[in-house]
Amino acid sequence: MRGPQFLPSQIVLVVAPPVLVATTYLVFRYSAARLGPARGYLVGFLFYWTVWCLLIPLLTVGPEGIRRMFSPPEPTFGRPGWLGVFLLVGPPLFMYLTVFPREIGSAGLTVAIYSALYAVVNGTMEEILWRGTFVTAFSGSWLWGYLYPAVWFGLWHLSPQAVEPSEPGGAVGFALLSILLGLAWGWVARTSGSIRWTVVAHVLLNFAVPAGRWFVTGKGGG
């Protein structure tokens, strides 16, 4: 029996995630050791965003494929709609009711600005790679277009955790939580054919941490 026949662009996407995790882990560790945790985070994320979240989608689905990821979702919140709304609203709402009030009071203006910039860039770039690109390239496969990228989306978070493990839960706990988020947002992207709403949810969730503290103090997770 012959296995699945992949196009060259699909082969790239199958091979890319483990290489992504390995290379970003090394970049985060090396940069933090040489430049300190705060600059290490910055260098690590810049490498991740430009090489993996931008270059790989351009090489595999192209500019037109990226443009189509942001097309109007149909149906608006995926199928079923109530589940899509829950998966989109639930995670950021939980964070804004629990973590955000505790963290934002001591964040300061600089951290808030960094957090906003990080949230927009990271939320958009990650949705382009992990949801949009895989859904576009593997439109006929739930395994390769949904489950596979969700698992590796979670595992990638082990790389920035190498600088400063998240508390509570540690690196493994953070990665497992991220897999669940990948499954949630992947469901919406796949059943709606768009990453418009998953980008919004991702940006809101990222800002709730607030992650800008990583780039100012070097304290943070992934």
Find all residues with CB under 8 Å of 122, minimum gap 6, and list them. 45, 49, 202, 206, 211
- The residue-averaged pLDDT of 86-90 equals 98
pLDDT of residue 117: 95
- As a whole number of angstroms, the distance between CA 67 and CA 70 comes to 6
What would the pLDDT profile of 2-22 be if each residue is shown by its tens digit?
667 899 999 999 999 999 999
Task: List, in sequence order, the alpha helices (H) in the chain.
Answer: 8-35, 37-47, 56-60, 62-69, 81-104, 108-126, 134-137, 142, 148-156, 158-161, 170-192, 196-207, 212-217
pLDDT in tens, 94-127: 999 998 988 887 778 888 899 999 999 999 999 9
Q: Is the pLDDT of residue 156 over 60?
A: yes
76 φ/ψ angles, rounded to the nearest 5 degrees: -55, -45
The pTM for the full model equals 0.93
Mean pLDDT of 62-79: 96
Single out the residue of 18, 67, 101 nearest to residue 195, CA to CA.
67
Q: Is 134 exposed, middle or buried (0-12, 13-18, 19+ CB in 10 A)?
A: buried
Q: How far apart are CA 46 and CA 49, in angstroms?
A: 5
Torsion, Cα 124 164 105 122, to 10 degrees, reads 0
The predicted pLDDT at position 82 comes to: 96
* For residues 64-79, average pLDDT: 96
How far is C-alpha 83 from the chain's CA centre?
20
- pLDDT score of 169 more than 80: no
pLDDT digits (tens, 9 = 90+) for 185-220: 999 999 999 999 999 999 999 999 888 888 887 665
The chain-wide mean pLDDT, for the chain, equals 93
pLDDT at 220: 56
Higher pLDDT, 164 or 201: 201
- Please give the DSSP secondary-structure letter assigned to residue 145: I
Q: How many CB atoms lie within 10 A of CB 53?
A: 21
pLDDT at 221: 43
**pLDDT per position as a tens digit, 130-154:** 999 999 999 999 999 999 999 999 9
C-alpha–C-alpha distance, residues 207 and 104, integer Å: 10
